[in-house]
Amino acid sequence: MHHMTAQTLYPSGTEGHPSKIAVIGAGAVGTAVAYACAMRGDARTIVLQDINKKKVEAEALDIAHGIQFTPCGAVEGSDDVEIVRGSDLVIVTAGAKQKPGQTRLELAGSTVNLMKAIVPNLQNVAPHARFMFITNPVDIVTYAALKIMGVPRNQVFGSGTVLDTSRLRYLVSRETGVATQNIHAYVTGEHGDSEVALWSSAEIGNVPIRHWGPTLSGRLFDSDLRKEIAEEVTQSAYKIIEGKGATNYAIGLSAANIARAVLRDENRVLTISSLLEDWEGISDVCMAAPTIVGRMGAGRVLNPPLTLAERDGLTESARRLRAVAQELGF
């Protein structure tokens, strides 16, 4: 007689134990990530860890009080890193706060020093977990963490331009009146000012964007409109930070989306930031590219068709990131 395994709502963890996501940092981003993961039921247990004991316990309790209305099983918070033990995915949001007008790259030094302090402790309690970094500048932080941890590239990745890609699709959707899910376009490179929108391979329901014809406002997807949209994607975060001090809801949802791809082994194509080795002539840098994401973490990096200008933009993006990493001693 063969055994029936009970089907549950939750993905099971890597070793057959109930699935678990740990979120490090209970600030605006960390709490939004934990809330989104709980609401979507991306894991059975979600834990929040932060050095501020009162804050992290209060945030976790606030989310936990609502779990009756979610598919999630438990939400807990602690200032003790031990709570992270046994996690399938560790999502790191802790970092220095971005000040209005400050570029993402200016934050780099203090944030990388913070990673040197916290990452080894996390690795110690969750050696087999996948690690996703959201802390900005995300590409530098991901590269530094990978070097600090000394693990294979699949295990450590950053949220990259998953959110920028979502912003791009939102703007194209607004321009055309077509659902964002049917807009296939990627933002790649640095999560920041040098990122590259891959317009040449962008499609709306299988129609190349350049053949779309007039948009709702009567414009065409010419270089002017494309430039406007790409600029709005890069600048929108600054606009939000100016208005409310931080961006958190959309990054919370996009992180939960990546978490689900890992925990449910979905093998989705997402523009996460991972170590690139001879990708379009780019090596030894972490930056965003369309990547297959499943239980193993960062998988194969895809090679979309690129124009020369797009390739040059990506090469420049990589050069900038490598220069910063070297300045920080990596």
Bridge partners for 132 per DSSP: 91, 157
Catalytic residue selected from 17, 65, 191, 211: 191
- Other beta carbons less than 10 A from residue 329's beta carbon: 9
What is the spatial distance between Cα 183 and Cα 185, in angstroms, rounded to a whole number?
6
- Any residues with CB less than 8 A from the CB of 208 and at least 6 apart, and which? 202
Q: Say which residue the tokens 């607004």 belong to.
A: 174
Answer whether 48's CB lies under 8 Å from 56's CB: yes
Note if 191 is an active site residue.
yes
Q: What angle do CA 272, 276, 282 make, to 5 degrees?
A: 125
Helix (H, G, I), strand (E, B) or coil at 16: coil
What is the spatial distance between Cα 93 and Cα 136, in angstroms, rounded to a whole number?
8
Question: What percent of the chain is helix, strand and coil (3-state, nearest 5)?
Answer: 45, 20, 35
- Which residues are catalytically annotated? 191
